[in-house]
Amino acid sequence: MRKQIAAANWKMNLTLQQSEALMNELLAIPHTLNENQQAVFGVPFPYLINVKNKLSGKKNAFVAAQNCYDKKSGAYTGEVSAEMLKSISVDYVILGHSERREYFNESHAMLAAKVNISLENGLKPIFCCGEALSVREAGNENNFVETQLKESLFHLSAAQMTGFVIAYEPIWAIGTGKTASNEQAQQMHAHIRSVLAKQYGQAIADSISILYGGSVKANNAKEIFAQPDVDGGLVGGASLVAADFAAIINSLK
């Protein structure tokens, strides 16, 4: 059974004090994770060690960096390497988020390099893909997302793709209050899985967790997660509210 994952993406939010208060409040709310469920906290770099320490001893709870650089080391002021993340025992790294693609011009080739160096350092990528409103309105969303996957992931071996994590984020539904319908989410998730099956076979495609990343909230998570090819969510704003993210964790199937 593939992993069902509730992944928080705090983005560039919260002070250290606010982050500690959020984690303390969240951890005080009763919730249980079974063997196939995970809670992942994608927090800003300065808070990784602190949040990891707070999760110590918690079953199936992990930390994620929100990015890493595509080079091992060197004169790249301000960047953070996969090797640095490995050295502090980070579990996951979010790669290819639409904001990174748009604001920092991350290309398919750069993301392929980031995936490679993350895997080399034992980090588990949460690879983001998804289309803008103009692409969907033109009816090109399937081809667009397929190209993102092919250009950044399809150099990987079957073994490297087994148990991989992908997050589909309809860019038109991020921070806008809009959410893809359950049918739209399922359609794209099913398409992504079919593309993976053509490349790697159905068994490997069925092992890959595909998360939905478009305005997941406490009041819609259960319905979205109930779709057969939706394996949880990459959650932005709602992950900054303890009660909301706890409800989302409890909505995992």
The domain segmentation of the chain, as residue ranges, is 4-249
| Averaged pLDDT for residues 168-179 | 78
pLDDT of residue 42: 98
The catalytic position among 106, 141, 169, 189 is 169
Reported as a pLDDT band with limits 50, 70 and 90, residue 178 is low
Residues 133/142, Cβ–Cβ less than 8 Å = no
Reported as a pLDDT band with limits 50, 70 and 90, residue 180 is confident
Q: How much of the chain, in percent, has pLDDT values that exceed 90? A: 92
Reported as a pLDDT band with limits 50, 70 and 90, residue 177 is low
Q: Which residues contact 58 (CB under 8 A, 6 or more apart)?
A: 27
Between helix 141-153 and helix 182-200 the angle, nearest 10°, is 40
C-alpha separations of 248 from 99, 153, 187, 192, 215 in Å: 23, 28, 21, 23, 12
| Averaged pLDDT for residues 82-93 | 98
| Averaged pLDDT for residues 22-36 | 93
pLDDT of residue 79: 98
Could you tell me where the DSSP H helices lie in the chain? 16-27, 48-54, 82-87, 98-103, 108-120, 133-137, 141-153, 158-161, 182-200, 202-207, 221-225, 242-249
- The tokens of 231 are what? 């394996």
pLDDT of residue 11: 98
pLDDT higher at 168 or 31:
168
The catalytic position among 97, 99, 131, 141 is 97
> Using CA atoms, how far apart are residues 253 and 249, in angstroms rounded to an integer?
9
| Averaged pLDDT for residues 58-63 | 96
Residue 176 has pLDDT above 70, yes or no: no
| Averaged pLDDT for residues 62-77 | 98
97 as an active site residue: the answer is yes
C-alpha separations of 94 from 167, 194, 206, 223, 225 in Å: 9, 23, 21, 24, 20
Residue 91 has pLDDT above 70, yes or no: yes
pLDDT of residue 30: 86
35 as an active site residue: the answer is no
pTM, entire model = 0.96
| Averaged pLDDT for residues 206-220 | 94
* Secondary structure of residue 186 in the 3-state scheme: helix
Average pLDDT, the chain: 96
| Averaged pLDDT for residues 150-178 | 91
pLDDT of residue 172: 83
CATH class of 4-249: alpha beta
Q: Which residues contact 157 (CB under 8 A, 6 or more apart)?
A: none
- Which tens digit of pLDDT belongs to each residue from 110-140? 999 999 999 999 999 999 999 998 899 899 9
- The tokens of 53 are what? 């320490």
What value, to the nearest 5°, has the Cα angle with vertex 21 and ends 20 and 27?
85
